[in-house]
Chains A and B, each alone.
Chain A
Amino acid sequence: MTNHEKSNHMDLIADQIAHRFGGLDVLDKVSFTVASGEVVAIVGPSGCGKSTLLSILGGLLQPSAGRAELRGAPPADSLNPLTFVFQDFALLPWCTVEANVEFPLVHAALAVAARRAVVVDALRRTGLSDFRGAYPKQLSGGMRQRVGIARALAVRPAILLMDEPLSALDSQTRELLMEDFIDLLADGAMGAVYVTHNLEEAVRLADRIVVLSRRPGRVREIVEISMTRAERGAIDARGKLLALQNDLWSLIREEAIDAEREVQHA
């Protein structure tokens, strides 16, 4: 038994992942590791395969080559170690907020009382306790994403797989939810893979940023951010973060322009 397994640490490894849709190469030999409790952002030009990569990492898509691996053991109480937070929230419109959060637990080996307690706790942590009886259509986009987050928290994930979770929201709601993400990930108990096209979100949240090249997506660079997330909130850190954001943009810019042109020609 390794040290990882003994300490209930679980790493997620992308090992030479390649994927092809029909005749189109989308990903090519993508490798990196998400260590336990680490937040890794994936950025790159449009169409570079970020979301495809996340689907492969989460076991929702079979790669054409390479594989996604787990090393170590998740926390003993984790019901779903790799848990998605979706861009479009993916809420069941016929279920209330409470039933949506409870949805992944119904088939888990949990007593009814324990299940209720988990749901109540997840609703409390996401500020949804007063909306438990509401239906998704009655909620704003931000509230819907909170339900998606509460549902993810209810299964106590080891690693959250977030696919542009803020992109469908207005700027104020994005800011509020970003603060929530920072709080949720503050204690390092939970890791995350955060796919985004928004570089500001990436530099605020991630410990490392994987920059993918234009299609087929390859790892172009992995940028480490040395500041803690708490330090990044300070006013004097803003200059450094902005510089980092500019560096990332300079890495992506030319390919983003090419990708945009390709879309226009298509």
Chain B
Amino acid sequence: MPSARCSMLDRAPQETQAEESKPRPVAFRGAGFTPSGGRASGWIALALVIALWQLAGSAGWVNPLFLPAPSAIAVAIYKLAMSGALWQHVSASVVRIGSGWLLGTVAGVVVGFAIGLSTLARGVGITFISALFPIPKIALLPLLILWLGIGEEPKIATIALGVFFSTAISVYSGVDAVPRNLIRMAQSFNVPFHAIVRRVVWPGALPSILAGFRITASVALLLVVSAEMIGAQFGIGAFVLQAGNLMQTDQLLAGVVILSLFGLAVGRLINMLEARLLHWR
């Protein structure tokens, strides 16, 4: 027996060696850390949440006064659309957002370029922007009402101010980020200053400018709602506030859904702009 035992023990290392000499695949270790945006999974998750929400409402698990079911919100939106009130509120908000955003963006782009290109403008501009940017712009609305009256002007001015600072910062950051070697290249070919700005600095800063647009669109949406809640008869913000005061939570959430759809539409528009203008990236 001892000899047999001995031979079994002797055989074990030989088997291991034979195992090692066989070709075997190298274990894959490179998985993960490369997330890709699966569109379908997002939509499925959204549908599941809405279905669960609807189920909770239909089954009576939650009080509809506190959280109306999605179907009730859809009905509220439909009724709003049919009565013409939806268009009245949405158009008022869109006009305010459009004018405020446009004014703030134009001023922000001009000032941002000036700060990015001129030493004097940088010295003066950055000091002012650093001091004024952190102020919540909605806090200035009463002052703006005092200056500009109770019409549309103070609401548009509030949005424009909010948009202006973010735009100016993103524009001058973008100008700063334009590779200096490209500017030196253009200078080495005697390309005039205005052409360097138009053909080198502007396209070079565009990724940052468009990223800024994405932020300022959200800022504009936030400010229009806040401004309309403070002093407006029409507008999504005013509608949401009125619905809240009357405990019409289905209408309140209808307003929230409309705001969300508006935000999504603006995001989509900026995506399209990026795809068109930044296709070279």
- Least Cβ–Cβ distance between A170 and chain B, in angstroms: 21
Does chain A have a CB within 8 A of B192?
yes
Q: Check B200–A92 contact: CB distance below 8 A.
A: yes
CA distance A82 to B191 in the complex (A): 14
CA distance A106 to B195 in the complex (A): 9
Does chain A have a CB within 8 A of B189?
yes
- Contacts A90-B181, A90-B182, A107-B195 given: A60-B188 contact, CB under 8 Å? yes
Q: Check B182–A137 contact: CB distance below 8 A.
A: no
Contact with B along A89-128 (1 / 0, CB 8 A): 0101111000000011011000000000000000000000
Q: Check A86–B280 contact: CB distance below 8 A.
A: no
Does chain B have a CB within 8 A of A32?
no
Contact with A along B267-281 (1 / 0, CB 8 A): 000000000001011
Which one of B184, B189, B195, B278 contacts A80 once the chains associate, using CB atoms below 8 Å?
B189
Contact with A along B157-186 (1 / 0, CB 8 A): 000000000000000000000000110111
Q: Check B189–A94 contact: CB distance below 8 A.
A: no
- Tell which of B185, B203, B281 has the most Cβ of chain A within 10 Å: B185
Does chain A have a CB within 8 A of B79?
no
Give the size category of A's interface with B. 20 to 34
Number of interface residues of B (CB under 8 A): 19
Give the chain A neighbours of B280 by CB distance below 8 A: 93-95, 135, 137
- Least Cβ–Cβ distance between A62 and chain B, in angstroms: 13
Q: Check B200–A155 contact: CB distance below 8 A.
A: no
Given A83-B189, A104-B190, A104-B191, 14 other A-B residues pairs in contact with their CB atoms under 8 A: A60-B184, A60-B187, A80-B189, A80-B190, A83-B188, A84-B185, A86-B181, A88-B181, A92-B199, A94-B203, A103-B199, A106-B191, A107-B191, A135-B280
Q: 28 pairs across A/B with beta carbons < 8 Å?
A: A58-B188, A59-B188, A60-B184, A80-B189, A80-B190, A82-B188, A83-B188, A84-B185, A84-B188, A88-B181, A90-B181, A90-B185, A92-B182, A92-B199, A92-B200, A92-B203, A94-B204, A94-B278, A94-B280, A103-B186, A104-B189, A104-B191, A106-B199, A107-B190, A107-B191, A135-B280, A137-B281, A155-B189
Which residue numbers of B lie inside 8 Å of A, CB to CB?
181-182, 184-192, 195, 199-200, 203-204, 278, 280-281
Across the A-B interface, the 5 shortest Cβ-Cβ residue pairs: A104-B189, A90-B185, A94-B280, A84-B188, A94-B203
